[in-house]
Structure 1
Amino acid sequence: MELLILSTLLLIGSHVVPGLPGVRSSLVAALGRTAFLTAYSAVSLATLALLVRSYAAADMGAWLYVPPAEARVFTVVAMPVALFLLVGRLTTPARTADPAGIYRITAVPGSLGVLLWTLLHLASLGEARQVVVFAGMAAIALFSLARNWHAAGPARRRAGILPFAGILLGRERLEWGEIGWARPLLAIVLWAALLLLHPVVIGPDPLAYL
């Protein structure tokens, strides 16, 4: 378990430290943007590989808490929301003068989607090694959310962080034509595929709790 905790901390550090404004600009100036991105990707992959190996080697360990069945059902039902935010982020240009599509719903769709994904897993899992890994991922996602929010311009911040907050407060408007039906349908397809592949690739069967 000690190696798993250490590798989780290394993974957090590999994402947080290079992402700090002063550190990032200094590294880019010293190495160049291409070399910095290459080194950043290599370190991130190396720490991720170490995390996977240390997770597999860690003992099952004690359960820190036992999630109720309702929490596991809620995780399965709510997961399409996280996937929709991620699909919207990956298929919508971020660097535009005015926010469009998913950026009218929330100013930080990608990091919010990852944060929601990790929190849903923490709500439905309770084994020590699982909590360590997903808590680390949640820390990375939270840092990314704060960084992206800080970097967002005033126009994008109108949407707020929580989905539909800016729309409900009248600061932003929903333009469904900018989102379309393809993105939510793709999120549903991904959700169904993950449910079917989860017991084959990862182990636990989420459908067992429905």
Structure 2
Amino acid sequence: MASLKDVAKLADVSLMTVSRAINCPDKLSKETYLKVKHAIDELNYVPDVSALKIRGDRKVPQLIGVLALDTATTPFSVELLQAIEKTAQSHQCNTLIVNLFDVNDAEHAVNTLLSYRPAGIIFTSMGFRKIKIPAKLHHHPLVLANCVTDDISVASYIPDDYQGQYHAVKSVIDKGYRKPLCLYLSANALAGKIRREAVEQAWRDINYP
């Protein structure tokens, strides 16, 4: 992989000039900038973000770490990850998704994520559930998505199961169905009781026996 020195050598300029071409091209003459750009294109050079961080370069995009507990397994969950990615990009941030397959064996995934020094972490899960937060994450900027915890006080962004279920059943009723087959989630699931209450309320609202 080409280095900054390789670019400088090919363009016959200093390392500082290459750095300026990448970070503040307006400080270079058009001729010098084009020389450096040509060298970068020819060598397929990609800036080393870790090196920029070490030098304290403020223009390096912040990294948002995503710890994904079984998340990339359903259409809804994939959409959740895509929404995080798009939102991060809109704020000039990058994302790093690390899959976690067992919250009780999270050390490797957590260590991998933290090794990249993320500015913040989003803990996501497939299926609304209560989770344990690995101790190493307790003192990092953290939010939860599609899950909750009793371990620490932390913001949790969760779906509105009641309203979603209510509107789904109301839609069925509005189409004229009066004897639908209802398959309820287990009462042990966090959303189970909430969704059943929404179904029953939808039927009560039309005064149907």
TM-score bucket (shorter structure): under 0.3
Larger radius of gyration: 2
Which of structures 1 and 2 has the larger relative contact order (alpha carbons within 8 angstroms, sep 6+)? 1
| Structure in which a larger fraction of residues adopt strand | 2
